[in-house]
Amino acid sequence: MATVAINLATGSLQQEEIIVGIDLGTTNSLVAYVHPDTRQPLAINDQGRGTIVPSVVHFPAEGLDPVVGNEAREFLLTDPQRTIYSVKRLLGKSYRDLGQHATQLGYKIIDDNSEGLVKIRVDDRFFSPIELSADILKELRARAEHALKTPVNRAVITVPAYFNDSQRQATRDAGRLAGLEVLRIVNEPTAAALAYGIGLSPDEEKTVAVYDLGGGTFDISILRIQQGIFEVLSTNGDTYLGGDDFDRAVSDHWQEAFQLPTAYQTNPHLQQQLRLAAEMAKRYLSQHDDFTTQLTDEAGQNTTVTLTRAQFNDLIRPLVARTIAACRQAVADAGLVVGSPLLVGSTNQSLTTNNQQLTTKLDAVLLVGGSTRVPLVFEAVSEFFGQPANNSLNPDEVVALGAAIQADILAGNRRDVLLLDVTPLTLGIETLGGLLDPIIPRNSKIPTKAGRQYTTSVDGQVNLKIAVYQGERDLVSQNRKLGEFVLTGIPAMPAGLPKVDVNFLLNADGILQVEAIELRSNTRQQVEIKPQYGLTDEQVEQMLMDSLMNAKDDVAARLLIEARTAAEQLLYQVSNFTRKNREHLTPEELTATEAQAEILRTALAGIERDPILKAMDELDELTRPYAERVMNISIQQAMAGKKIG
């Protein structure tokens, strides 16, 4: 399969390496490549096992290597606790991010409510979603190598448009763990449009919508393609809406309508049986009008359940309506008007004030994801956009095919096609009072650069903390912290005098570089913000090592380290604060703070996490009121200009 080329400089034979495209899906994953002879993208079907690899990892009891795909999927029913599905939902997430969703899975998520990365427990072993995703990627890689009979070392991997930096970084890390060099992380809708051949010819101008309803996520993206430039005008969606929710609606309906024994809600085996039957009904009703099957409980008691397409449509209508609402928002964000006839005459002036081109009809509405096979979805989307949606390519494969085309572009096999993406969430820094000051707004095209100027709030301040956040809320506490660093060595000056430029550079992969410069002294500091939950190279190495050893104590150890780090930071902040603001604090406050700080230092010397967390909480509680008071004073003192802290 591999093409052989001769390197004229050395006279040696070179093997042209194939770069694969991978759709790492919540429910299903696929690997595709561009055939070197036909130049056509193809999903890989190794040994006739089909192109779709269910994103399910099963751990056999004896600690053997995990199995992935259909083989693993069969264990959803019989061995749910050792059979991990929908792991993409957990990728790059902390326990806190998950909230109530953790309890909806058939397997065990360690019970915790911390900022730490989620881990999954299988017997006595703990796995991160990155490791489990890597297992899926390893399987895809092995299938590609087997089918193509050549080593596969490089890949393009797709992610939903809504993935934040942590999730993108986690996907990249999973690729590395699977031994793949990840050349590019590409948004799924961008890949889908590429698969439809949109954007590959230079003089083409198009505006398209990509509606992607998979098993676990929904994305709507509006893309504009102009002179070979691929631009995402807007994205919207819901990371917790997909075909799984259709299945749940069906199970819930059956539970009630057929008075199923409560064991179908409590017994994992029966839960899974119900879930699979509901999915089967859904798929069947994409083609037929009536579905009937039998459920069997542990006592051998049978219940016949039925569902008509009309009933199914009623069950899912509210879910489909939510996707349409997101479409409406995306269309508005893109500055477009679609679906309804354009008013002419005196009433249309408000529609033309915007200098964006007014569109009543998109050039195409592309359907992506298995759930778009549901007839009601097709109808609702076509109706909203005022034109029949395009589903001519296999909706399961289209993202992987597009990823393969992107891989082919990166391999230098196509003339340069420039792809511009957008950042899905606002990026900014924390300013005084815990507010988020946006630097790169959401839906900005990337790569992009932006900056703002700040100053200090305290006389003689020589350090400035730059804390970087991602999100749409005003308060940083409600957004996601990506990282922070301290600009040191600012010459002592009165508050408000230093001029600090903070510049954000977001590259094509969505990795953020932050630079702070104090202009008067030319003091400069630069960091690459690896998202807080992302992994460093050393951590990836460490994980490889750990997987060879018994990782039972991993979690406790990591949590202790995290608590210690946080405690040290807090002590540092508190001592800085009291030193700087001595004149604003009463002697009682100073004594109480020192006493509480001492309690925390004592706890830090120990090896238990809870006392550290408790002492931190108490120190925080104690100092917060006077920190606020001092901040108010600073705000008053620094009326002009923005102060960071």
Site for Mg ion (CB under 5 A): which residue of 21, 25, 402, 424? 25
Pick one of Mg ion, ligand ADP, none as the site partner of residue 645 (Cβ within 5 to 8 A by kind). none
| CB nearer to ligand ADP: pick between 378 and 577 | 378
CA-wise closest residue to 186 among 139, 219, 152: 219
Would you call 537 a catalytic residue per the annotation? no
Q: Which residue is catalytic, options 79, 173, 188, 421?
A: 188
| CB nearer to Mg ion: pick between 158 and 581 | 158
- 361-380 residues near ligand ADP, rule: CB under 6 A: 369-371, 373-374
- Tell me how many residues contact ligand ADP (CB under 6 A): 21
Residue pair 215/188 in contact (Cβ under 8 Å)? The answer is: no
Rounded least distance, CB 167 to ligand ADP, Å:
14
Rounded least distance, CB 67 to Mg ion, Å:
22
Residue pair 169/182 in contact (Cβ under 8 Å)? The answer is: no
Helix axes 165-177, 129-148, angle to 10 degrees: 50
Rounded least distance, CB 368 to ligand ADP, Å:
7
User: Residue 436, Cα to own-chain centre: how many angstroms?
Assistant: 21
Rounded least distance, CB 25 to ligand ADP, Å:
2
Applying CB under 5 A, the span of 24-32, 129-137, 227-235, 532-540 interacting with Mg ion comes to 24-32
Q: Which residue is catalytic, options 131, 139, 173, 212?
A: 212
Contact status: 21 vs Mg ion (CB under 5 A): no
Rounded least distance, CB 219 to Mg ion, Å:
9
- Residue 605's contacts (CB-CB under 8 Å, 6 or more residues apart) are none
Interatomic CA distance for residues 244 and 267, integer angstroms = 19
Site for ligand ADP (CB under 6 A): which residue of 141, 283, 609, 643? 283
| CB nearer to ligand ADP: pick between 23 and 231 | 23
Would you call 614 a catalytic residue per the annotation? no
Maximum CA pair distance of the chain? 82
| CB nearer to ligand ADP: pick between 326 and 597 | 326
Helical ranges in 386-476 per DSSP H: 398-410
Q: Dihedral, CA atoms, 263, 267, 273, 276, nearest 10 degrees? A: 110
Would you call 588 a catalytic residue per the annotation? no
| CB nearer to ligand ADP: pick between 159 and 467 | 159
Interatomic CA distance for residues 472 and 477, integer angstroms = 11
Interatomic CA distance for residues 402 and 311, integer angstroms = 35
- Residue 487's contacts (CB-CB under 8 Å, 6 or more residues apart) are 463, 464, 465, 466, 500, 516, 518, 523, 525
Which residues pair with residue 122 across a beta bridge?
125
Helix axes 268-285, 309-333, angle to 10 degrees: 80
Contact status: 25 vs ligand ADP (CB under 6 A): yes
Would you call 188 a catalytic residue per the annotation? yes
Rounded least distance, CB 399 to Mg ion, Å:
5
- Residue 438's contacts (CB-CB under 8 Å, 6 or more residues apart) are 426, 427, 428
Residue pair 362/209 in contact (Cβ under 8 Å)? The answer is: yes
Interatomic CA distance for residues 165 and 173, integer angstroms = 12
Rounded least distance, CB 287 to Mg ion, Å:
21
| CB nearer to ligand ADP: pick between 153 and 239 | 239
Site for ligand ADP (CB under 6 A): which residue of 18, 19, 26, 249? 26
Q: Which residue is catalytic, options 23, 231, 247, 430?
A: 23
- 91-120 residues near ligand ADP, rule: CB under 6 A: none
Residue pair 272/76 in contact (Cβ under 8 Å)? The answer is: yes
| CB nearer to Mg ion: pick between 69 and 214 | 214
Q: Which residue is catalytic, options 88, 93, 530, 643?
A: 88
Which residues pair with residue 61 across a beta bridge?
none
Which tokens hold the place of 37? 């002879």
Rounded least distance, CB 86 to ligand ADP, Å:
8
Say which amino acid occupies 294. Answer: Q
| CB nearer to ligand ADP: pick between 370 and 498 | 370
Which residues pair with residue 296 across a beta bridge?
302
| CB nearer to ligand ADP: pick between 170 and 440 | 170
% helix, strand, coil for the chain, step of 5: 40, 25, 35
Site for ligand ADP (CB under 6 A): which residue of 282, 480, 609, 643? 282
Site for Mg ion (CB under 5 A): which residue of 214, 243, 498, 645? 214
| CB nearer to Mg ion: pick between 26 and 581 | 26
Applying CB under 5 A, the span of 22-30, 89-97, 168-176, 350-358 interacting with Mg ion comes to 22-30
φ, ψ at 263 (rounded to 5°): -55, -25
CA-wise closest residue to 187 among 154, 159, 151, 163: 159
Rounded least distance, CB 68 to ligand ADP, Å:
14
Interatomic CA distance for residues 84 and 73, integer angstroms = 9
Contact status: 73 vs ligand ADP (CB under 6 A): no
Residue pair 44/144 in contact (Cβ under 8 Å)? The answer is: yes
Site for ligand ADP (CB under 6 A): which residue of 173, 279, 397, 421? 279
| CB nearer to ligand ADP: pick between 21 and 214 | 214
Applying CB under 6 A, the span of 102-110, 212-220, 254-262, 544-552 interacting with ligand ADP comes to 212-220
Pick one of Mg ion, ligand ADP, none as the site partner of residue 237 (Cβ within 5 to 8 A by kind). none
The interface mask with ligand ADP, positions 396-425, x = CB under 6 A, is x-----------------------------
Distance in Å from the first CA to the final CA of the chain: 60
Q: What is the DSSP string of 289-355?
A: SEEEEEEE-TT--EEEEEEEHHHHHHHHHHHHHHHHHHHHHHHHHTT---SSPPP-GGGGGGGGSS-
Which tokens hold the place of 382? 């076509």
Which DSSP state fits 8? T
Site for ligand ADP (CB under 6 A): which residue of 239, 286, 359, 394? 286
- Burial zone of 538 (CB within 10 Å; 0-12 exposed, 13-18 middle, 19+ buried): exposed
Rounded least distance, CB 369 to ligand ADP, Å:
4
- Residue 338's contacts (CB-CB under 8 Å, 6 or more residues apart) are 209, 331, 359, 360, 361, 362, 384, 385, 386
- 239-278 residues near ligand ADP, rule: CB under 6 A: 242-244
Rounded least distance, CB 50 to ligand ADP, Å:
12
Pick one of Mg ion, ligand ADP, none as the site partner of residue 215 (Cβ within 5 to 8 A by kind). ligand ADP
Site for ligand ADP (CB under 6 A): which residue of 129, 216, 237, 471? 216
Interaction site with ligand ADP (CB under 6 A): 25-28, 214-217, 242-244, 279, 282-283, 286, 369-371, 373-374, 396
Interaction site with Mg ion (CB under 5 A): 25, 214
Catalytic positions, written as ranges: 23, 88, 188, 212
